[in-house]
Amino acid sequence: MVPTGFAAFPKELAGLAPPRSMIERNFNLVQYTRMPRGGHFGCFEQPQLFVDDLRTFFRKLRWDRPMASQRSVPLYIPFFFAASINVG
């Protein structure tokens, strides 16, 4: 399964903020972050929080092989949207 990260912004629309347990059931959740502030456009409202969280997520996934040799690309979800990108 594709490694997945999720950033939960506190003022996100209710229907777009699933509980952690739901994400864990459907994805290989490696990181779940409850952001201290931000809403529906949290990535734009709190860009530094978003970038820091994104860097932390990808730091956990450093591979010994180049990305092109991987079967799928890690997925980071700043809101409830999911898709895996297969590269091979």
Report pLDDT for 19: 87
Domain membership of residue 20 (yes or no) is no
Q: Is residue 61 part of a domain?
A: yes
66: in domain: yes
The overall average pLDDT reported for the chain is: 76
pLDDT (0 to 100) of residue 74: 60
Show the domain range for 73.
3-9+26-80
For residue 80, the model assigns a pLDDT of 39
Quick: pLDDT tens for 10-52.
888 877 778 899 989 988 998 999 999 988 888 889 989 989 9
The answer to whether residue 14 is domain-embedded is no
Q: What is the pLDDT of residues 41-80, one digit of tens each?
A: 888 899 899 899 988 988 888 764 555 445 556 666 554 3
Tell me if 74 is assigned to some domain.
yes
**Is residue 47 in some structural domain?**
yes
2-36 CB burial, b ≥16 within 10 A, e <16: bbbbbbbbeebeeeeeeeeeebeeebebbbebebe
Q: How many domains does the chain have?
A: 1
Position 60 scores a pLDDT of: 85
| Beta-sheet pairing, 3-8 with 28-34 | parallel
Whether 16 is covered by a domain: the verdict is: no
Asked if residue 62 belongs to a domain, the reply is: yes
**41: helix, strand or coil:** coil
